[in-house]
Amino acid sequence: MSDLAWFFAMAACLKLLLIPCYHSTDFEVHRHWLALTSSLPLRQWYSDLSSPWTLDYPPLFAFFEFLLSLPASFFDPSITNLHSHNLSSPSAVLFLRLSVSFSDLILLLAANLLSAPFPSLRRRITLLLLIWSPALLIVDHVHFQYNGYLLGIFLLSLALLAQGRDLLGGIVFAALLCSKHLFLVAAPVYFVYLLRHYCRGGLWTGTRRLLTMGVAVAAVFAAAFGPFVYYGQIQQVFRRLFPFGRGLTHAYWAPNFWVFYILLDKGLAFILAKFGFSIPTPMASFTGGLVGESSPFAVLPQVTPVVTFLLVLLAMSPCLVKAFFNPQPKHIVRWVSYACACGFMFGWHVHEKASLHFVIPLGIIATNSLDDARHYFLLSIVSCYSMFPLLFEPQEYPIKVLLLVIHAMLMWMGFSTYFSQRTNTKGTKGNDPKDHCKGSELIGYVGICYLSGFVLIEIWGQFLHPYILGNRLPFLPLMLVSIHCAVGMMYSWAWQLRQILRYT
């Protein structure tokens, strides 16, 4: 059996074992979207209010849901009944769980294309990082979403760009944007890279290629959004896609830059109040578990969507400059991953799940060097742990812990073996003595101390907090998770920026 088939078979078996697990409200969201797209005419998809779970993904994903609804109606008619609510029958759970696993085939295809040129051991490690990601298993196959399907399209686009097939890669990325608009954060890198790499040549050649790319991408958007333009629903579609009234952060803070901004504001407010200054009470609390339009800062300036947009663009500007002056396919994965990291760190109302947008692609280049492996080892653990609060029921606790621990062990063994063999292979082109790895060197003492913090946080949240504080300060365990993970994410972002400035 080939490596690809073996990895996919093992992943499929694990996904089948996870079918009976807890699922979040996202299960009902996607179940309702299946019913909505199959029961209502297209012109009502984005205006229907029969459920709180209104359709807020771009049209190509809505068409994807419509395609899933066709077999769903034969499997269990209640799945596509628009008047069914909170449906959790065994047949519905089985069908929707299997639909997520089936849609992962595009992730498998992309992983195969990306790892095909690699030597055997490196290929296995790459497949491990892409297909057996514990964070992806937690979010998609327990919590319930279709990130594997969307990330598969994303990786497929990157694979085509890495192979020099720019036109097709641009078309696939356009299809991705029409499926999940949060990938827009990578669009500036795609635009600059394709402009400078695909549209190169003389005036006639460059103009012809620019027009070809423009027409191809426009055709994708026309196919996706055209029907809603025809029915006069395009404004309603965009209102659903960009609901900026949700606030800067989610109820559970994503581990990004805004965690430190919030803490600084609260610290300054506390200190100023101690000195007798009158501090206005914020309209909403970040620790109250509420999501909505608010002015939550007491001391620091309020943050608007425009501010976050400008910060994201400013943060990714170094890789845009690199892509403009030296557009090389070998760097495209790193540049795009960094752009997604900028969106995660500085974006508006970011969810912790968005870290998958750069963690998964970075798995492609994790074996480029020992430095990349060290960074990925730490980053993937931080990303996965930041998603632990998604699974809050006791029966899933051993599952999420085992998924992370086993994956960390496999990464440790894989990276250590690969870089040891790479060092011992004489005459290998590009062989660097610095890439020698002895296990403990994979993370270092500072990294070990940082990762030990996760153990302490778990001990506090699971045992000490309920015993010492009882029902007081219920937000504290989640706050500790956000703060500690934000430290790791901030380090990862700075490390990626350093790599771009120094080596690409």
Residue partners of 367: CB distance under 8 A and separation at least 6? 118, 122, 125, 126, 373, 415, 418
pTM beyond 0.75: yes
Is residue 76 within 8 A of residue 93, CB to CB? The reply is no
Residue 440 has pLDDT above 70, yes or no: no
Percent of the chain with pLDDT over 70: 93
d(CA 260, CA 238): 31
Enter the DSSP assignment of 461: I
For residue 238, what pLDDT is reported?
Answer: 93
pLDDT at 86: 81
pLDDT in tens, 127-137: 999 999 999 99
Task: Write down the pLDDT at residue 424.
Answer: 64
Decide: 93 and 101 in contact? Cβ < 8 Å.
no
Q: What percent of the chain clears pLDDT 90, i.e. is strictly above it?
A: 74
Q: What is the pLDDT of residue 294?
A: 44
Q: What is the pLDDT of residues 192-209, one digit of tens each?
A: 999 999 998 888 899 999
More confident: 380 or 248: 380
Tell me the per-residue pLDDT of 423-439, one tens digit each, with 9 for 90 and over: 666 444 445 545 555 55
DSSP label of 350 = B
**DSSP structure class, residue 292:** S
Q: Is 150 exposed, middle or buried (0-12, 13-18, 19+ CB in 10 A)?
A: buried
| Candidate from 62-71, 228-237, 239-248, 345-354 with smallest mean pLDDT | 239-248
Residue type, 34: L
**Lowest-pLDDT range of 5-14, 35-44, 372-381:** 5-14
Q: Report the residue count for the chain.
A: 504
Cα separation, 412 vs 440, whole angstroms: 9
Taking the C-alpha atoms of residue 474 and residue 413, their distance in angstroms, rounded to an integer, is 38
* C-beta separation of 79 from 127 below 8 A: no
Phi and psi at residue 498, to the nearest 5°: -60, -40
Which pLDDT value is given to residue 292? 42
Best CA proximity match to 189, nearest among 347, 371, 341: 341
In order, the DSSP letters of 124-151 are HHHHHHHHS-HHHHHIIIIII--HHHHH
Q: Is 164 a residue whose pLDDT tops 90?
A: yes
Region 249-256: mean pLDDT is: 86
Name the pLDDT band for 51 (thresholds 50, 70, 90): confident
The domain segmentation of the chain, as residue ranges, is: 1-103, 249-304
Q: What's the token pair of residue 26?
A: 């996202």
Check whether 290 has a pLDDT greater than 60: no
- The chain-wide mean pLDDT, for the chain, equals 90
